[in-house]
A and B are shown apart, each in its own frame.
Chain A
Amino acid sequence: MQIYVCVKHVPDSAANIHIVDNLKIEESVPFLLNPYDEHAVTEAVVLKNQVPGSEIIAVCLGKKDAESTLRSALAMGADRGLLVETEKVCDSMTTARALHAAIVKDGPADMILTGKESIDNEGMQTQFRIGALFDFPVVTNAVSLDIKNGNAIVTCELAGGRTRTFDLSLPCVIGAGRGLNTPIYPTFPDVVKSRKKPIETLTLPELNVPAAPGSAKIVSMTPLVQKRHPRKITGTPSAQAAEIIRILKQEAKVLS
């Protein structure tokens, strides 16, 4: 199988985000492989072990320094990387077109894996747009995946522990959720080996990425800090419990 994994270079979730010009974030913070994409790469490795002879290609749209995220995917077990390099900030419609064009050029794909969302823009949609451009079926928040008789049997999770199981014909697009697997933690030799794996750099003009019929553009950004001023509830556990119940009833009005 030819397995493509779309990965994104995102700020570390623990980083403090600072905003510049009310429009973008200060990019000096550490960036890494989007956590949900780690599950996608890991699942690709699982599939490769099941179907010997498979190849895993990690694809990323981003600036030059996104190469480090591709290296992380290579250290986890991807065979090679494709970097669609751009300095531009791309919305989901353009990103999907770029990833689609890169995979078409390199392909054909038997399966495309992504994370269910990126932790920076939290758009939750690129996997569906890639699917629509290829006319491949798509599912998201996958928590289990099996290949049987040339089909993908995928269980996806809704909230509240509810699940749905789908039968997808290949090729298909699958958005990985956290329950899918435990991400591979690369060993030092894996990291060393990944440095020798090839990364091909492509650009939007050479891929002839078509213009999208719409756009989503960030026009302003403000830090989301809610200043809360804690009041202390003291006393015996019984008195504290009584006060909590009073607050729920009288202030929050969520209990009758």
Chain B
Amino acid sequence: MKQAGIVIEVEHNQVKETSLGMITLAGRTAESLTALVMDGITREITDQLAAHGVHTIVDLVLPDAPEIRLNPAVRAAAVVHAARELTLDRVLGLSSPEGKDLLPRVAALLDAPLVMDCVDVDLNTGLANTSQYSGKVMAQIQLTGETLVFGVRPNAVPPEPRPVQAKTVVLTDNEAVPENITLRSWDNKDSEGRQSLVEADIIIAGGRGLKNKDNFSLIIDCAEKLNAAPGASRVAVDEGWVPYAFQVGQTGEKVSPQVYIACGISGSIQHFAGMKTAKMIIAVNRDENAAIMANCDYQVPGDLFDILPEIMKQL
């Protein structure tokens, strides 16, 4: 391996914790790390990156116009340009919502192998661990090729400080804007103030036990109090209580929070597929025989309509 490049995600002028964790993971098997930052660099960002072990910070300058800058095809071309320019033979990014639309584009453009949603990566050997078959199997995958691309599951590794001296490089990509894909509009509703499901430390999710759409506001209110992300089982989504974006499970989001609080969720095999890698599962359920009660860390038998308001009251 020559050089590992890490695509960094920034939010509110801060490097995301999940990106810092990815740097920690990469630092375990790579000597020298290069961070690729696409939306402008500040002193705060360079300090954070240097404190976590990044040696080279690349300011990937994109056109200012948001419809160009936010176009994933433009961003992927910029990452590919940087990879070639800086002879990066390993490229890492988060398996985040943005990453799922970026890293496969990068891999396809480089014609390089890719594993998404890795929980562990060895950059020297090209081995990666990822779950398959809806979280029922952990597969170890060997990548071979000139350049290898890895998507790292957010929260797979917590960030650890590793201060180094970092230098900054500015790279401007003058490639033509693609004509066959144009970003017409984007909307960021719900991103402000509400925690992203895949990146949250705490998720509180509701299922059939909520009974109707109005009751589901209890989950959303409780999530706000706990600074948690609200989630839902497929039933709650299919019933139209909450949008699909809330769904955790096989056909929803796969999440690994520190704590997953399942309320009125029976715990089908498909739901577990989305949350079984949570560090701690707390299940609140009236039915002590529900599947989730046998496969959690704390079972709380009782009525969620009594317990959740109590939690809110006591916080």
Pick from B108, B190, B279, B282: contact of A125, CB under 8 Å: B108
- The answer to whether B121 has its CB under 8 Å from any CB of chain A is no
Which of A44-52, A73-81, A211-219 forms contacts with chain B? A211-219
Give the interface residue-count category, chain A. 35 or more
Q: Which residues of A contact B97 (CB under 8 A)?
A: 158-160, 162
Pick from B187, B283, B294: contact of A163, CB under 8 Å: B187
Q: Which residues of B contact A131 (CB under 8 A)?
A: 108
CB–CB B180/A160 < 8 A: no
User: How many whole Å from B237's CB to the nearest CB in chain A?
Assistant: 9
Give the distance in Å from the alpha carbon of A166 to the alpha carbon of B35 in the complex. 28
Nearest neighbor of A131 in chain B, beta-carbon distance: B108
- The answer to whether B301 has its CB under 8 Å from any CB of chain A is yes
Give the distance in Å from the alpha carbon of A172 to the alpha carbon of B179 in the complex. 12
Give the distance in Å from the alpha carbon of A253 to the alpha carbon of B306 in the complex. 24
CB–CB B297/A169 < 8 A: no
CB–CB A217/B269 < 8 A: no
CB–CB A132/B108 < 8 A: yes
User: How many whole Å from A190's CB to the nearest CB in chain B?
Assistant: 23
Q: Which residues of A contact B108 (CB under 8 A)?
A: 96, 125, 128-129, 131-132, 138
CB–CB A120/B133 < 8 A: yes
The verdict on A217 contacting B142 (CB below 8 Å), with A120-B132, A137-B178 known, is yes
The verdict on A36 contacting B258 (CB below 8 Å), with A213-B145, A237-B302 known, is no
Q: Which residues of B contact A91 (CB under 8 A)?
A: 113
Nearest neighbor of B306 in chain A, beta-carbon distance: A237
CB–CB B134/A13 < 8 A: yes
Q: Pick 25 A–B contacts, CB within 8 A, sort by A.
A: A14-B270, A93-B111, A122-B117, A139-B101, A162-B187, A164-B183, A168-B180, A178-B247, A213-B146, A214-B111, A214-B147, A215-B143, A219-B142, A221-B138, A224-B137, A224-B276, A226-B276, A229-B297, A231-B297, A233-B299, A241-B307, A245-B315, A247-B280, A251-B280, A252-B258
Q: Could you tell me which A residues sit within 8 Å of B by CB distance? A: 11, 13-14, 16-17, 19, 25, 35-36, 91-93, 96, 119-125, 127-129, 131-132, 136-141, 143, 153, 156-169, 172, 178-179, 212-224, 226, 228-234, 237-238, 240-242, 244-245, 247-248, 251-255
